[in-house]
Amino acid sequence: MGEPAMTADQLSGGLKEAMRRLASAVAVVSARSRDGGSVGMAATSVTSLSMSPPSLLVCINRQAGLHASMFIGARFNVNLLGVQHREVANAFGGSMARELRFGVGEWSNDIQDLPALSDAQAVVGCEVDRIVTYGTHSIVIGAVREVRVCGECHPLIYQDGRYL
């Protein structure tokens, strides 16, 4: 006799608890809304997908304000945060009103007129190539169009509800 199968709530809670143990680099995904305003969100669900063709993926909750800006052909930036960017991560992680977020940190517009964090560890400019919907999220596959790497590598890492 084995243990009884876990309920959906137990699986969800267990997965959340397990994933708190996975340390992840923090990024801010930034884009333009359909009305031309700046939108962005903090994300730890960002990873390279392929070097040929150069691509990455980011997982975005379909209820996030940024989600409406993700459609085939849309451009976005993945701003990789450094240890000095805790306040930026907090602002874009939901602790601040959306219209005030870009007031935290040094943001400028890149050549695609997208918001880019001036002193980010790196900024990866992408174009949405594919979107896969799964559960509450969309997996956005970005074709890399440009990359800017800055300074030494001292990434902001998030694990178990806190920055390391």
* Assessment of whether the complete model's pTM goes beyond 0.95: no
SS3 string, the chain, reads CCCCCCCHHHHHHHHHHHHCCCCEECEEEEEECCCCCEEEEEECCEEEEEECCEEEEEEEECCCHHHHHCCCCCEEEEEECEHHHHHHHHHHHHHCCHHHHHHCCCEEECCCCCEEECCCCEEEEEEEEEEEEECCEEEEEEEEEEEEECCCCCECEEECCEEC
User: What does the pLDDT profile of the chain (164 residues) look like in tens digits?
Assistant: 567 788 999 999 999 999 999 999 999 999 999 888 999 999 999 999 999 999 999 999 999 999 999 999 999 999 999 999 999 999 999 878 888 999 999 999 998 899 999 999 999 999 999 999 999 999 999 999 999 999 889 999 999 999 99
